[in-house]
Chain A
Amino acid sequence: MVPDDLRYTKKHEWIKVNGDQGTVGITDYAQGELGDIVFVELPTKGKKVEQMKPFATIEAVKAVSELYAPVSGEVLEVNSQLTDKPELINSDPYGEGWIIKLRIEDPSELENLLSPADYEKLIEEEEGH
């Protein structure tokens, strides 16, 4: 269930690296915990985000969660489809439900992130909790 071409945060965001750009979303596990997502408060294009600082807010019916930037950088694009169809995050968290694309400022920050195997372990721990 955890795609092996991505890197992960402890707060359940993923990032797909493509050169100096990254696509960011939340994991399948995270969307399952939140339940039906009804609203996403997206950042504006051009905004600077910092590693592990909040960049967006995501709302389910009775839960709200901040999203943390896997790495620092500038927001290049936001998934404007989510404004009308936030449920894409539920139905396709690694695909159509992506949230932002950003320019990666410092590739070395990627090393602070979890590998697919480590992330899988994290989920197991949380589920066992």
Chain B
Amino acid sequence: MSQVSMTVNGRKVSGECEDRTLLVHFLRDNLHLTGTHVGCDTSQCGACVVHLDGKAIKSCTMLAVQASGSDVTTIEGIANGQDLNPVQTAFKEHHGLQCGFCTPGMIMTITDMINRHGSDLDEETVREELDGNICRCTGYHNIVKAALDAASKMGTPQQVAAE
């Protein structure tokens, strides 16, 4: 068993888990943050994407102990209280989700994408960088629209980084 400590959504947390526990299971089972999902066993579907020290990672591909000491943001931590962040808003306005299961991972991946590309983000880049996120419901059409709309509203990469 290992003792794990990290900052999750701005809150310092710690817990005990088996050495083999994946970060996604630590988030779901120890911290009860069930918005991060598991959709495959091979790091392909992206339902488990969270931000680790500001970058999108697949939380099924990292041990909880490896994330110890890091700053983790999950889908539960990106809204500002009742105010949705621009990517969440764009998903709602463009009907970028249906069953909602892949949605947290999609939003975390696209937020990272916009953090890097800002308003320069284009359709080709969105589709290419969504390679690691699978959606079975939407045909991606409205997810792409949501990503581009959110990018246009979130501004330049520098502005985003400064926030």
Do A and B come together as binding partners? no
What is the interface of chain A, defined by CB distance below 8 A to chain B?
none
* Chain B residues packing against A (C-beta within 8 Å): none
